[in-house]
Every structure is written in C-alpha cells, then in structure tokens.
Amino acid sequence: MGEEVLLVGEKPESAYTLELMTMLGKGAPRVVVRAVGRNISKAVYVTEGVRRLTGDKIAYGKIRIYSTEVGEVKEEKSVPVIEIEVVNLGVERRA
C-alpha cells in the first residue's frame, strides 16, 4: 500500500482533522500531511490536534520543508511546502 497523503488546503481545519482521524482509524500505518504557503500553520494545527485527540497515539516521522514553483510560465514564484509524516501508534480502529 503506497503512502497516504493528506493535502491541507482552504477547507476549515476541522475538516482536515476529521479526515486525518478517519485515515488513521482505518488503519493507515503512516499519513504524509502536506501543505503549501499560508496553509502550513493549519497543517501543524491539524496534526497537533489529532495528537491530542488520540491521546498521543501518533508520532512524527520525517518532517520536510522545501519550495515549489507556482504560477504561469515566466511568472513562477517559489512557495514553501511542508510535509509532516504522521506515524500511527495505534489509533482506535473504526469501520
């Protein structure tokens, strides 16, 4: 099974918290939470929120920071990206 990825974008923080809880509750061993630009803070709120909600049943694996180019040709600009590897330490399974 390839690595599962959760891209944190413009939806409310709670939507991603629920989505990550569901992925982990279905038994995903690892989920990479990725966010671009101004959504980086939200991604960290989501992973820390899930860590508290699950009573520390997650841990952090590799956390990567890099940049990606966005925009039309000749008008690209660099935008930072964060990837947070969330490791499932036994989040309660749900159907």
Give the Cα separation of 47 and 84 in Å (integer). Answer: 8
Cβ of residue 59: shortest distance to a second copy, in angstroms? Answer: 11
Does 41 contact a second copy by CB under 8 A? yes
Window contacting a second copy (CB under 8 A); options: 2-10, 16-24, 79-87: 79-87
Cβ of residue 79: shortest distance to a second copy, in angstroms? Answer: 9
Cβ of residue 16: shortest distance to a second copy, in angstroms? Answer: 13
- DSSP letter for 35, please: E
Amino acid at 74: K
Pick from 29, 90, 16, 13: which is nearest to 57 by CA?
A: 90
